[in-house]
Amino acid sequence: MEYIKITKVDDIKLHRRGLCVNGTLHLTTHHLIFTLPPQLDSQQRPVGARELWCCYPMIEKVEFNKGSLELFLEETDITSTGDLLQGANLRIKCRDFTFLAFAFQDIKQCHDVFDSIMKLTCINDISKLYAFNYTPVRIEQDFNSWNDYQQITEFERQGLNLSEDGIDSSYPGSDNWRLSTLNKDYRLCRTYPSKLIVPKSISDTILSHSVKFRSKNRFPTLSYFYRKNGCSIIRCSQPMVGIKQSRSFQDEKLLTEVFKTNGGDGRTNLIVDARPLTNAMAQAALGAGTEIIDNYEGCKRVFLNIENIHVMRESLNKIKEVLKNGDISNQLYNRELLVKSNWLDHVSNMLRATDLLVKSIHLNNMHLVIHCSDGWDRTSQMSSLVQLCLDPFYRTVEGFCILVEKDWCSFGHKFNERSGHLQRETKFYNYTSDSNFQMIKQLNQQFKNHQNTKLESPIFQQFLDCIYQLMRQFPDKFQYNERFLRRLVYHLYSCQYGTFLYDCEKEKRDLQLEVKTRSVWDYFKSRKQEFTNPDYVEYTDVLYPNYSNVKFWFQLYGKSDQELNGFLDIQRQREVLKKKKEEASASVSISSEEVKSLDGDKGNEYALNGFGNGSDYKSNATELAEGYEDETEPEPAGDAHSIPSSDEEDEQEEEDDDDDDDDDVGDDNGELEIGNDKSYDRKDNESNCDPLGNMNVVSRSLEQMEIQ
């Protein structure tokens, strides 16, 4: 309470979504509360009070300005009256896309509120967050969801036989896995769970030696067992290959035994690198990189071309820029930024990758080994999305809770770091002074804020956005509804519950979160009826995402479907017409012989549509660097999902530990980079479609695969 300079301010105006109301502002230890005047009944008697609550961790940015809020409206003529220069205001941007503004008559009161909110929001110790002081309401007290995810129980539900009695299972390969407690004290890998599922034929000695070959010691371990064919989803981090093309016989042995668990000798399995190809190659200079595929017998590799955390953060920031006047106006600011954000392109690319991987494991009986750089961002996204499409249990409320606990919380997604729970004062801007010193201070503050937020990224929110797209495409196949996802985004940042406060299982135990905080799943399970889809019909078959059918999640952004997606429909139509005109013009000026010649050249130039061995790692990177400077990337094929690209190049920031943000190019050794494959034309989404067809697969063995 010593941080609060002022606890109550009467008669101030709240602006939200272009509306303005008078009320009273209260500042408490954990919440900002705005109380509206009570409504009156037919006899003019007050009937209850209406309140708007905002917890401090939800605040992303605060601006302290002099004058009226009307000064921020483009149509306002500031020369017409001096009344607009009176008073002060606070503009607050929240992480759940809520925009609030408070207008004060007294500048000193406004300054005291600004300072108080800054001190209450910016903390340096996670134990000071609201979750450690939250007292559950009555309907939540009967739940304890911390115990819902039990590792052995969940993997046995998937079909594994991990019990000591050794009862035979009818599922192929279910007896060939074991539980390892080698990481029980987190010394083997700090960010992995204490218990791990590995092939029964692999000893703990081999495991302890294999960890050194993977970034952050995140060695290959089981994430999901697919009981229908005994295939598995394995997750790990990038190999420490480096420029010298190092190898690890223990790592190779571990994956070989994984592929043998279901008796799949001679079958082709898939190593999935979620990064763009050039990013993976650039990591070789830092001692990491991607697998030398010749060292892994019977394996092919695919690059999913999913961008890193910095690109995703800047993409969402452009959407926030469009919505930034959501406090004082109901109009969007600069709609073209929706196009330039490329957010839907990123979501579409993730669904495209999900479609490929689902068909690979379900139709082609491939084991999947998924990794990105450190294996806790894109790896969690892709592993979870594939499981969601394969297993109907994860499309229920109970199953989804377990999926998040297993593949995100347990396997070390950095919720605290990516969400920015421990905020800095650099997010609070005081614009009340026009002096040169103040301007220099603001520029310095913006730079520091950029540095402080460089590890924040909406990775989990993007995962929920992909699920939203799946729910749109399959409206009766999910037990939970859209509001369930939206409230998850809210509680991702609210810090009211302990589920999203830590970066790994070890931190959860060190902080004693299971004892000192409540699980977020208590909130949802105690209100299950509110988050249940009334049209839900249990569906046991596999879902195949339609990556060409994506839209902005307008409910999350507090807008209508027409406001956000109507503009993009017009833009798409313009692009289609423009492309048709260009094609018609080209068909007149280019002879058929020239077209044939050009087609042949392009086929060799971008021969990354299939899989290859990737044996000459350094030479391929050299050829790419030499050849890319003189070549122009082909135009997109104009798929229905594509968002028109900007005419300007967005500035890419350098990153410390993660991938480089170079343009994505491919080599000619047969590696597949699906996100960069502009010629991949999705004609249908039928189950008999070869996921590796339509991609001009070079490998003859893959061309001859029979898809049942």
Identify residue 576 by its one-letter amino acid code.
V
Find, among 630, 507, 613, 438, the residue nearest to 193 by Cα.
507
Find, among 243, 251, 346, 351, the residue nearest to 287 by Cα.
243
Whether 7 and 35 have beta carbons less than 8 Å apart is answered as no
Chain-centre distance for alpha carbon 312: 8
Residue 54 among the catalytic residues: no
Residue 374 annotated as binding site: yes
Residue 395: Cβ within 10 Å count: 24
Residue 376 annotated as binding site: yes
Q: Token pair of 192, please?
A: 């992995």
Dihedral of alpha carbons 54, 56, 57, 61, sign: positive
Exposed e or buried b per residue across 497-530, where buried means at least 16 C-beta atoms within 10 angstroms of its C-beta:
bbbbbbbbbbbbeebebeeebbbbbbbbbbeeee
Note the residue count of the chain. Answer: 708
Residue 412 annotated as binding site: no
**Catalytic residue selected from 94, 372, 466, 504:** 372
Q: How far apart are the C-alpha atoms of 281 and 657, rounded to whole Å?
A: 14
SS3 assignment, position 130: helix
Q: How far apart are the C-alpha atoms of 107 and 103, rounded to whole Å?
A: 10
HSE-up (13 A, CA, CB side) for residue 303: 30
Residue 169 annotated as binding site: no
Residue 372 annotated as binding site: yes
Q: Token pair of 634, please?
A: 């082909």
- Give residues with Cβ within 8 angstroms of 150, minimum separation 6: none
Whether 500 and 458 have beta carbons less than 8 Å apart is answered as no
- Give residues with Cβ within 8 angstroms of 99, minimum separation 6: 16, 17, 91, 92, 93, 323, 324, 325, 326, 327
Residue 549 annotated as binding site: no
SS3 assignment, position 21: strand
Q: How far apart are the C-alpha atoms of 479 and 80, rounded to whole Å?
A: 56
Residue 309 annotated as binding site: yes
SS3 assignment, position 664: coil
Q: Which residues are annotated as a binding site for substrate?
A: 308-309, 372-378
Catalytic residues: 372
Q: Which residues are annotated as a binding site?
A: 308-309, 372-378
